[in-house]
Each structure stands twice: as structure tokens, then as C-alpha cells.
Chain A
Amino acid sequence: MMTVRTWLRRTDWPTVFAAVLVILVMAIVILGPFLAPQSPTDSVDDVFALPAPGELLGSDVLGRDVLSRVLSGGWRFLTMAGAATILGVGFGSLIGILAALIGGILDEIIMRLADVVLAFPQLILALLFVSFAGSSLSLVVLVIAIVHVPQVARTLRAASLRVVGEDYVRYSESIGLPRRRIVWLDILPNVRTTLFVELGLRLTFSIALIASLSYLSFGAQPPSADWGLMIHENQIGIESNPWPVIAPVVLIALLSIGINVLSDRLSRRRGKRGRLQTAAHLAPVPAKLGETA
């Protein structure tokens, strides 16, 4: 029986807090377009009008309703971030796992190529690609995905290397199990936590990159409602009505914090569970005592 007190003690409050943040922002993103009181693209007021009843966040550079633009401008932004993350983490993990499993010269080539890409700051790299390839939205997604690949590959390679060394992979090799089955059955389930943490982390990076690209006008194009673009086009009026800048900034920040805390908690929980499962006599000797000799 769980009393209220043990429930209070056992609940991991940072996780709850982070989950609430993420759910809140996601609700705005998904439900927002239906809740918008006005059209996000029609001018309804003076330029940079202050908040007033009916226009809770005032108006923007073209006199459009800021609240409506904020509510409508999230989904495209988040879809792009999500797609870029899934693509990037998907390809990155595949490359990292294969590099760990196959090893040898292939591993060496992949990792040195990754080093070259890693030498560039992510944003610079993204800008470089976009300036070559143009700035259609699908290209931006692809570019951000590519920028993630080397980092993800590196992390997943390290995690997989540990698994590849285990005897259960050795057994699968001894019965001649095909490589794709080893990846699917032995490696993926055992790097699952790393993968999830990486997804969370890359999602926040994607959000930041898309916001930066939009801000630098490589992302969504006017007049579409987009959080990154809103920051860019409304910064000149920040002294008249700061809300068209503050609202998207705050939402992006809250979402990033939420996702970050969640993925951090996830990686910690894994450590705890692992300890409980270890048989007592095989548990690592406490470091403190190991060194008393």
C-alpha cells in the first residue's frame, strides 16, 4: 500500500516538472492552430500594438495578431525539428552501430570522416549546406539531419562497442546469426537508453538550429507563421511591443528545458535499475573501500 507520504517521497519531481513543461508546449503546438482567435496572416491592427483585450499579446511588425501567430507557428517548426531529429539519429545510429560491429578499416574510415565533419560548428555547417542547396523546408530538414549524423554515430558507436564485446553477441556469431539480426536483437535493445537520450538531446539541438536558420531567414519564409521567423522579423519593434519576440523565445526555451531534463532523468534511471539486478557477490566493490589497502 502506498501512502501519500511515500508517494511524495518516491516521485521524481524534476521528471514530473519536465513532463508538464513538454506536455504544455506540445499542447500549444498541436491544438494552437484550432484555438487561434484570428487569422495568423491577416493584418488586424496597427504595427506593434501593445496587448489589449481581444489581442492578448498585441500585434507584430505587420499588425498581425501575435497570439494567433504564436499558436499557429509551432507545428511546422516542431514537425521540422522532429523529422530532422529522427532522420539524423536514425542514420547516425545505423552508421555508429555498424562501425562498432564490423570494426576494422570501415570503422576507421567512418570515424575519421565524422571527425572532419565534427571539426565545423554545427550552425556554420548547416549554413554552408543551405547556401549551396537553397532553403526549401525539406532541404533544411535534410541539412539538419546530416549535421547530426556524425555526433550520433560517435555516441552510438561507443555504446555499441560495449555491447559488441559481450558474450551474448559472441554466441550469436557462433551460431552464424546474420548481422542484421544481431543488430536488431542483440545491439539495438541494449543501446536503447543511449538511443532515447540521444533523441532527446538532438531534438533540442534541432529546435535551436531551426530557430537559428529561421532567424537568419533560411527557414520558413514570410508571411508564414513560424517561431524562428517571428523572432527575426519582430526584433526591430522589441521596444514597442516585446511580446512577438518574447513569446516564441519562452516557448522554445521551455520545450528545450523539458526535453533535456527528461532525457537526463532517463539516463540516470538506467543506472539505478542496473545495480539492483546485479547479484550481491558480483556487485562492484565500493570504490571507497577498494583503496583502503
Chain B
Amino acid sequence: MGSLFAKTMAKPAAGLGAAKPTSAGIAVRQLTINTTDGGVPIVRGISFTVAPGSILGLVGESGSGKTTAGLALLGYARSGLKIAGGSVSIGGVSMLDLPERELVAMRGREITYVPQDPATALHPGLRLRTQMAECLRQPSGAREQALHGMLQDVGLPDPARILASYPHELSGGQQQRIAIAMAFAAKPQAIVMDEPTTALDVTTQTRVLQLVRALAQQHRTAVVYVSHDLAVIASLADQVAVMYSGEIVESGTAAQVIGRRLHPYTHALLRAVPDPDRALWLEGLPGQAPDPAQRPPGCVFAPRCGLAEPACTTQSPDPVLAEPDHMVRCFRAGSLHIAAPRLLPAVPRPAQPVSPLLRLTAVQAWHGRKVLHDIALDIAPGRATAIVGESGSGKTTLVRCIAGLHSAWTGEIALAGQPLATKAKARPLEQLRRIQYVFQNPYASLNPRQTIGQSLLVAARHLRRGERISRNETLAVLASVGLPAAVIDALPGQLSGGQRQRAAIARGLICQPELLICDEVTSALDVSIQATVIELLTRLQAERGLTILFVAHNIGLVRSLAQDIVVMQAGQLVESGETQTVLSAPIAAETIRLMRSAPRFGAAAQDEFHDGAALDASGMEAKPLRG
């Protein structure tokens, strides 16, 4: 089905000659998207332009409308939504005025799309040669050469092998590079990229971002890059537009929005971004974006804004220009000064050596082939230890062995001196209670048919046999992870991703564990939510003396959480020690590589501490963008 569709789109657009391109790139004016049922606005009159060869980063949390806005550039609204007003011009062609047939012809030719998950972009049943050829305009004779050129562009070696492969035979990073190559192949005027690196690990992400940057310049393509991660946007985009609850609250060049940010929301997003070079105290943004059907009167951000004054809750701020091209929509813009970031206090290693809570000796594990080689490791009690490495380095397998979820391993894992059985099933309840596991994907780790309260009870009743677990205790545990009492009777489907992950942590806590294994627990969450989860883990560690084993691929994140670090590569432990020591002066090549590829604010961050960054009141007498 996919192939047929792509074929129709690769055909030259009929009748397009009539609409003469007047301006290149993307121009969006007052784009409004409503729900079809009740006309609730999801995207509310946003405007921006992207010049050929430049990249606009569209940033926002889940539910900000950024993906909806991105898809609207293709003249598309997912079912339940309709484009209600405004204009979208791609290379001078007004997309929203085109009849359906011509619109379809524009897609894949003048504007292309790269989705978040490369696996959904590629047809699983077609060889790459077949599906990649569909997006080419070349006559069949020159096709093979063009295909090789595409693969060369995205830095994939051995084109003959790749072209003969099916998508599942490639890694996620390779698939995403193919999807990007296909997006650029038709030499479109514009490309919309919807978080194409979210599913990739940090090193692959860096390579993909560099690639996007280079291809956009080389092909003079206007790119809209949708993401929740400001660090990614900062390292990629020329211009940044910050979206919140369907409107753009701040926009400008990357240096303006990131270096001289004015809106409290932009400030909050940035405070949540970890830095691989410093142990930043991450501050999450509590709460959620408002339900589009129940937006507050006045400024939409006011309920979550620490600076809100009475006027903010009654009047909606108009966009103002703080400096040329730098738009902000806030009454209190600039009153938040950019301060030096708070750093985490160092947790000193105890003077006398303490006996480790967990001791691994000569652990080897197999997944068909051998994936862990002779791991020896001590985990100190009461500390947070991070296990970092690329995907495939064996870090998840290692913690699964500890939790008894992976059965093919040998060696010894001792919990407080007692060796653990291979499988969880063979371990006594007391040992099971002391180790709790929190999974990566909060959308799959809670039984969708059990309320949160039931999920907690099942675990607690099983592991704390003979004890009575009162509703009040459950409520107290939920409160300790920052969840409201009402959550106890909610099904997971009614919660946001961040809330679900908190519930999963609460399920571990109610069992009164000593060791909490967190397997990439933030990688499915927005950066701002990620920071709140990190805050929570830090607090739990301090309050309960919990030992935390934190698996991650983001080395900056690790620096903001863990006192100790273990770096893994290809199933081996390549470096370990105190996080600050190891990351300040990494020795192993893998550690150095991970440090180098971690996203940083780069040039934009240089402005961060300039005095002129905070605007005084006189700078704010700017004119409204539109009447």
C-alpha cells in the first residue's frame, strides 16, 4: 500500500505550473487547526517563515501542538482535526488552497516528511532499493547511480548491500538515515522532521543531526524540525519557535531564544536540560499543558508560571518584538534574569569503606551470542550508580540479570552478601522485595486494566506477605512521588507519560526496596518531565537512603543524578568510578566518545551569562507583531 502511494506522489504534479513560485522556502501565516468535534483550537494562529537552507526548530512539550502544526505544512490534519484557517506557502505555492489531488502531488515532491519512528516510515516488505527508487525523479537508467548517491549523502557505506536489504535488517540509526535520504532525494523545497532522533541513542543522534544540517545547506532546503529537546534544537536550528498550548510564545534566532531567552516557559525548558560538562541541578516544570478545551483565560502559561501576576490570569498577552526578529508573548518578559545555574552538591564517598549492597563477580550473559564478558562490580549502598553505554553495550542485560529477568547468565551476583538465584522465580520473597525494577517505557509497564492503586497493591501484598497495606499507605506512597490522591483510582490510560512513570516508581517504593533499578526511565519522556523524574529520584535517594542503579545513554543526565558511574562498551566494563572524576577526566576511549557526542548548547550557550542577556523594562516598549 505504501509503495503505491509513494508512486502516485513521485509523479510530476499535474497543473502545478499555473501556480508560479513567488517566494522560496516555507511561509506560514495565522495557521489555525481545530478539532472537528466542537471546534476546539489545537493550533492557534501561528506564523513563521523558513528560508531555503535554514532550519527552524519547533520546540514544546507533549500536547503543545507542535506535531499537529508540522503536519499541517503538508496540508494534512489527522482524523478528528481540520485546518480551520491561515495559509501555508511552500515554495510560493499556497498549500491550503490546492485541491486534494494537487496537494497529494505536492507531498513527496515539494514537501516531505520524516516521522519520529523510522520503522513506520519504511515499508517492511520491500527491499530498500525498491522503496527508495520510488522517491526519485530520475529516469530508470540513472536510478542505480542516484541511489548510491543518496546513501553516500547520508554516510551509509556498502550501498549494494543496503539496497538489497529489508528495513528490519538495519539498525534504527541506519533506518532513520534512509528515511532522511528519501526525504531529501526528491530535492523538495521543504522538509518537516518530527523528532527523528528521539528513538536513537546519543552518538547516533549527533551523527543524524550533523547530517540534517549538512543536507539542508547543500540542497537549499527549508527544514522544520519538531522536538521537545532544546539541546537538540540548539545544536541544529538557525531559528527557534517555542510552542505552548497551540501558540508560539517565543521565537527568534537560536542565539536570541536560547541565549537571550525572555519567556518564563523558555527559561523553564532550559533549566530542565542536563549538561554533560557540569553536574547541573535540573529543575523540572511541574504540571501539564492545559487541556485545549479548558484553556485558562489570560496567558495560557500562567497556571504553571512562577512570575504570574493578576493581569496574567485575565488578559492574554499580545506578541511583542523585544529586538528585531525576537518575538515574545509575555507581560513579564525579561523580568527573569539568567542566573548562573545551580550545581548539585557533591556527595562525598564515605571515609571508611562500606560493604557493597550488590557485588557482581565474573558475570557473563548470553543472548544467543555472548553479550556480557566477565563483569565485576560493587554497588555502594545509598548511592546512585549510573550504567552508561551505547545501545547494544549490554547495560540493560546487566540490570536484567540483577533483577532475575534474564536467565542465561553465569557468575555471581550477591545482594548484601547473599548470592542471588539466576531467575527471579527462584529467589525468596525477601530478596525480591529488596530489588525493584522500573522499566523504560511507562506506556507498557503498567497493566492497562488495573487502576494505579490495584497495581501497587498487587506488588505490595505479594512482597510484604502478612502485612496489611492500608489505602492511606498507598496514598502516602503516591504523594511521595508527587501524584495526586485521585490517581489511586485512575487507569494508566488516563495518565500522562510522566505521571505513569511516577506511578511505576511508586509501585517499586511501596514494596520498601533497598535497590531501585531504573532502566532508561526517562527516555520516553519530554525533557521537562525528565527533569522532574530526576528530581524525584534524587529526593528519594536522600530521604529513604535508597540505592539507585540508573541505566542511561545520556551522559549529561547521568551527571545530574549519579554519584558513581560505570561505562560499558560491547559487553565490557571500560571505566568506572565517581561520576565527577570520571567525566571531568575521562580515560577510556568510549567515555570520551560519549562525552563528545552528548548534545550541548554550543555557540548559543556562550551568550548565557552575558549581562545584556536580561532585558530591562525600556527594551520592552516594542511594537506588536500584528494588530
Interface set of A (CB-CB < 8 Å, partner B): 166-168, 170-177, 181, 185-186, 189-190, 192, 277, 279-293
- In contact, A167 and B425 (Cβ under 8 angstroms): no
> Smallest CB-CB separation from A276: which chain B residue?
B493
In the bound assembly, the distance between CA atoms of A106 and B2 in angstroms comes to 38
> Smallest CB-CB separation from A168: which chain B residue?
B447
Given A189-B449, A280-B67, A291-B6, is A285 in contact with B194 using a C-beta cutoff of 8 Å? yes
> Smallest CB-CB separation from B5: which chain A residue?
A291
In the bound assembly, the distance between CA atoms of A285 and B116 in angstroms comes to 8
- In contact, A185 and B447 (Cβ under 8 angstroms): yes
Those of B562-614 within 8 Å (CB) of chain A: none
A-contact 0/1 string along B1-43, CB 8 Å cutoff: 1110110010000000000000000000000000000000000
Those of B90-124 within 8 Å (CB) of chain A: 107-108, 112-117, 120-121, 123
- In contact, B62 and A281 (Cβ under 8 angstroms): yes
Is B556 interfacial (CB-CB < 8 Å)?
no
Given A190-B449, A292-B108, is A174 in contact with B123 using a C-beta cutoff of 8 Å? no
- In contact, A285 and B115 (Cβ under 8 angstroms): yes
Q: Give the shortest distance, in Å, between A77 (CB) and chain B (any CB).
A: 35
User: Cβ of B405: which chain A residues have Cβ within 8 Å of it?
Assistant: 170, 173-174
Q: Give the shortest distance, in Å, between B356 (CB) and chain A (any CB).
A: 21
In the bound assembly, the distance between CA atoms of A271 and B507 in angstroms comes to 28
Closest 8 CB pairs of A and B: A189-B449, A277-B493, A167-B445, A285-B115, A291-B2, A293-B182, A167-B439, A281-B62
A-contact 0/1 string along B422-465, CB 8 Å cutoff: 00110101001100110111011111111000010011001100
- In contact, B450 and A189 (Cβ under 8 angstroms): yes
Is B78 interfacial (CB-CB < 8 Å)?
yes
* Interchain CB contact (< 8 A) of A290 among B2, B62, B432, B436: B2
> Smallest CB-CB separation from A286: which chain B residue?
B78
- In contact, A176 and B76 (Cβ under 8 angstroms): no
Q: Give the shortest distance, in Å, between B498 (CB) and chain A (any CB).
A: 10
6 chain-A/chain-B pairs, Cβ below 8 angstroms: A166-B445, A176-B424, A190-B447, A280-B67, A292-B108, A293-B135
Chain A CB within 10 Å — which of B78, B228, B455 has the most?
Answer: B78
User: Cβ of B444: which chain A residues have Cβ within 8 Å of it?
Assistant: 166-168
In the bound assembly, the distance between CA atoms of A177 and B447 in angstroms comes to 14
Those of B34-79 within 8 Å (CB) of chain A: 62-63, 67-68, 71, 74, 76, 78-79
Is B254 interfacial (CB-CB < 8 Å)?
no
Given A279-B497, A286-B78, is A174 in contact with B437 using a C-beta cutoff of 8 Å? yes
User: Cβ of A285: which chain B residues have Cβ within 8 Å of it?
Assistant: 115-117, 120-121, 194
In the bound assembly, the distance between CA atoms of A201 and B37 in angstroms comes to 35
- In contact, A171 and B437 (Cβ under 8 angstroms): yes
User: Cβ of B358: which chain A residues have Cβ within 8 Å of it?
Assistant: none
Is B403 interfacial (CB-CB < 8 Å)?
yes
In the bound assembly, the distance between CA atoms of A282 and B62 in angstroms comes to 9
Given A284-B120, A293-B182, is A185 in contact with B450 using a C-beta cutoff of 8 Å? yes
User: Cβ of B2: which chain A residues have Cβ within 8 Å of it?
Assistant: 287, 290-291
In the bound assembly, the distance between CA atoms of A287 and B463 in angstroms comes to 44
Given A174-B424, A290-B2, is A168 in contact with B179 using a C-beta cutoff of 8 Å? no
User: Cβ of B429: which chain A residues have Cβ within 8 Å of it?
Assistant: 176
In the bound assembly, the distance between CA atoms of A185 and B115 in angstroms comes to 36
User: Cβ of B183: which chain A residues have Cβ within 8 Å of it?
Assistant: 293
Those of B132-184 within 8 Å (CB) of chain A: 135, 179, 182-183
Is B515 interfacial (CB-CB < 8 Å)?
no
> Smallest CB-CB separation from B449: which chain A residue?
A189
Chain A CB within 10 Å — which of B425, B427, B497 has the most?
Answer: B425
User: Cβ of B123: which chain A residues have Cβ within 8 Å of it?
Assistant: 291
Is B270 interfacial (CB-CB < 8 Å)?
no
> Smallest CB-CB separation from B1: which chain A residue?
A287
Chain B CB within 10 Å — which of A167, A283, A286 has the most?
Answer: A167
Given A280-B67, A293-B114, is A286 in contact with B450 using a C-beta cutoff of 8 Å? no
Chain A CB within 10 Å — which of B6, B76, B444, B496 has the most?
Answer: B444
User: Cβ of B424: which chain A residues have Cβ within 8 Å of it?
Assistant: 173-176
Is B394 interfacial (CB-CB < 8 Å)?
no
- In contact, B441 and A167 (Cβ under 8 angstroms): yes
Q: Give the shortest distance, in Å, between B433 (CB) and chain A (any CB).
A: 8
